[in-house]
Structure 1
Amino acid sequence: MQAYYEIETEIPVTHQLNIKLPDTIPVGRAKIAIIYEVTEVQSDKKTMMADFLNNLPDNPTGGCLTKDEIKTYIQQERSSWDD
């Protein structure tokens, strides 16, 4: 038989929780589920460009990408959007 216990808390910047459970919950194995609200991320051109630049491979060909390498990378990224 399974039972359910719910408590609300704030997730701190450390992303660590310390929760005291009631004594009525027996010792033993348990599952913990975290349910949280997801905020929609606004994507503007600056954010999209920053994401693109952050996803570029580090030092792929000695430090600089050629124009053709950048075009190829963009095409690969765009094709992955269709998946």
Structure 2
Amino acid sequence: KVVRLYRNSLKLVSSWCIDRDIFNDKATEIRGQFDDERGCRPEKAIRLLREGEDQLFIYTHPEPYRNPIMPGGSKFMRNPPLP
């Protein structure tokens, strides 16, 4: 669950930060937050996981970035005309 939260937080940051330099800075901050709590007790880990999921829900982007050729993208299922 922690890895899933980390991946989802990076995807969320990529929706908010278009510039790659800003994204790298934010991703480093997120990684630092995860590394700071690496060896904590299971009770604290469950609480931190719940708080992280709540923060992820609060900061959800209204129009998240989607790859154009994946489901939800602008080019999904677009068939080019035959020559």
TM-score by length of 2: 0.29
More helix by share: 2
RCO greater where, 1 or 2, for CA within 8 Å and sep 6 or more? 2
**Which structure would you say has the larger Rg?**
1
TM-score by length of 1: 0.29
